[in-house]
């Protein structure tokens, strides 16, 4: 890889479609709620809400497939190893399809366990079961899409990622309206719409990636089932899974302590977490650029390209973070007002707006460095760094929560972001030395 080919334009070409793609994700949840809300009943809204959260949490476990596939494929691109590029696509599909069928097989136990952890009223649980038992049948497609997206990102096909996301969410929205409002299918209609959207997106994804099926490499047992490659893929994906579970545990702990305060504080934190989601959707675009380009640089063994990519993606991460901070500084109160009509809740939430203003600046190094380490497949460092960060987060909550309440919780979250960045930065120069 020639360092001269690493330009601001190339980074933006990769990042912008990802950011636009991410923006469509929360839109779908809003439409689902709005459509089911037309039934004029409270229970269906709750059922779809809790059902979609459980299904999303189950699928989220397989998020490692997207990240692992991106890093490994990008390195294969950098090495110009065409056979391994194709083999990685086949392996990702195998993991997705097999993982999806395992979920279908154990669906009853999984759903039962989910409601034991997070119980709801009998009416809501009954409808949520109906919703989830339909949704789960698209699991092989939904999980495989993670691998398809990772493969496309690694090959800098982010416009196709945007198209695929727009297709899936757009189809879902249109079928929501048709099945629920048009046919009166209620909660089941919302679930069927999503199943159709995910399965159709899977087959369109296969068509977009049709170049992988030219020739016989994609079905070569010797190539696809290479023991050494499979072991390496397993290690990378396992490390990412552990890292992601620890990160999720931190956010769940945050919400647990929020709920121990009062309902107003819990509601305020839910609103402010939407700010964090907007920030993460934006920063992820540049993190994905880092994954792709760093992977290619590592594969090509170009240390100069690696450093240039790291500096440019950090620069754009800072620009995005700075703009997000300005947005929250000048329009934060307006955004809060959009999310709740309660004047009391608006005023209460504004007390903690300061944390959202500084969060993008404190968080962006962790996001970009995550992308760099995924691209370099230094996932062990990510796992260990996240473990250290999680322990320090728990200590900070223990020290600050009792004295400072919700401000202490938000301070602990900021500490988590900073420590994540520091643990990765310490290890970064090892990547340069080994390239």
Pair 272, 351: CB distance under 8 Å? no
Q: How is residue 172 written in tokens?
A: 């879902």
pLDDT given for residue 43 in this prediction = 79
Helix (H) or strand (E) holding 73: helix 64-79
Supply the pLDDT for residue 188: 93
pLDDT number for residue 4: 63
d(CA 120, CA 282): 33
* C-alpha–C-alpha distance, residues 338 and 64, integer Å: 34
- The answer for residues whose C-beta is within 8 angstroms of residue 146's C-beta and 6 or more apart is 62, 63, 65, 66, 69, 92, 96
Query: Is 414 in contact with 389 (CB distance < 8 Å)?
Result: no
pTM assigned to the model:
0.92
pLDDT attached to residue 1: 65
Q: What is the pLDDT of residue 2?
A: 64
What is the C-alpha to C-alpha distance for residues 172 and 31, in angstroms, rounded to an integer? Answer: 9
Q: Residue 3 has what pLDDT?
A: 61
**Res 252: pLDDT:** 83
Q: What is the pLDDT of residue 407?
A: 96
pLDDT given at position 238? 95
pLDDT in tens, the chain (435 residues): 666 689 999 999 999 999 999 888 777 776 777 788 777 777 788 888 888 888 988 898 899 999 999 999 999 999 999 999 999 999 999 999 999 999 999 999 999 988 887 777 788 888 889 999 999 999 999 999 999 999 999 999 999 999 999 999 999 999 999 999 899 998 999 999 999 999 999 999 999 999 999 999 999 999 999 999 999 999 999 999 999 999 989 988 888 888 778 788 888 888 898 899 899 999 999 999 999 999 999 999 999 999 999 999 999 999 999 999 999 999 999 989 887 888 998 999 999 999 999 999 999 999 999 999 999 999 999 999 999 999 999 999 999 998 999 999 999 999 999 999 999 999 999 999 988
What is the structure's pLDDT at 5? 86
Let me know: does 432 contact 307? Beta carbons within 8 Å.
Answer: yes
């Amino acid at each position: 890889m020639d360092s001269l080919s690493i330009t601001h334009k190339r980074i933006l070409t990769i990042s912008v479609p990802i950011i636009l793609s991410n923006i469509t994700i929360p839109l779908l949840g809003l439409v689902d709620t709005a459509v089911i809300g037309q039934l004029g009943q409270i229970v269906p809204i709750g059922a779809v809400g809790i059902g979609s959260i459980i299904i999303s949490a189950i699928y989220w476990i397989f998020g490692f497939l997207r990240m692992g596939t991106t890093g490994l494929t990008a390195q294969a691109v950098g090495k110009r190893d065409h056979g391994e590029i194709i083999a990685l696509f086949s392996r990702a599909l195998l993991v997705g399809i097999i993982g999806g069928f395992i979920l279908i097989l154990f669906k009853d136990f999984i759903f039962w366990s989910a409601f034991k952890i997070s119980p709801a009223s009998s009416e809501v649980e009954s409808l949520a079961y109906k919703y989830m038992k339909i949704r789960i049948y698209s699991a092989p497609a939904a999980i495989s899409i993670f691998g398809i997206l990772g493969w496309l990102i690694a090959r800098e096909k982010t416009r196709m990622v945007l198209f695929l996301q727009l297709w899936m969410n757009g189809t879902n929205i249109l079928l929501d309206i048709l099945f629920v409002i048009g046919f009166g299918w209620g909660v089941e209609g919302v679930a069927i719409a999503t199943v159709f959207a995910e399965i159709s997106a899977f087959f369109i994804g296969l068509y977009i990636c049709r170049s992988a099926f030219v020739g016989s490499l994609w079905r070569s047992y010797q190539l696809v089932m290479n023991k050494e490659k499979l072991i390496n893929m397993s290690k990378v994906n396992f490390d990412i899974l552990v890292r992601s579970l620890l990160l999720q545990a931190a956010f769940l702990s945050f919400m647990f302590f929020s709920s121990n305060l009062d309902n107003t504080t819990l509601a305020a934190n839910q609103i402010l977490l939407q700010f964090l989601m907007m920030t993460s959707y934006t920063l992820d675009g540049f993190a994905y650029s880092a994954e792709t380009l760093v992977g290619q640089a590592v594969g090509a063994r170009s240390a100069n390209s690696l450093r240039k990519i790291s500096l440019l993606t950090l620069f754009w991460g800072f620009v995005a973070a700075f703009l997000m901070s300005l947005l929250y500084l000048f329009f934060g109160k307006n955004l809060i007002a959009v999310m709740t009509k309660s004047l009391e809740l608006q005023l209460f939430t504004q007390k903690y707006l300061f944390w959202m203003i500084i969060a993008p600046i404190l968080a962006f190094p962790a996001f970009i460095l995550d992308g760099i380490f995924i691209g370099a497949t230094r996932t062990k460092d990510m796992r260990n760094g996240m473990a250290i960060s999680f322990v320090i987060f728990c200590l900070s909550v223990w020290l600050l929560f009792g004295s400072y309440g919700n401000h202490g919780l938000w301070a602990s979250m900021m500490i988590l972001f900073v420590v994540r960045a520091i643990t990765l930065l310490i290890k970064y120069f090892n990547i340069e030395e080994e390239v």
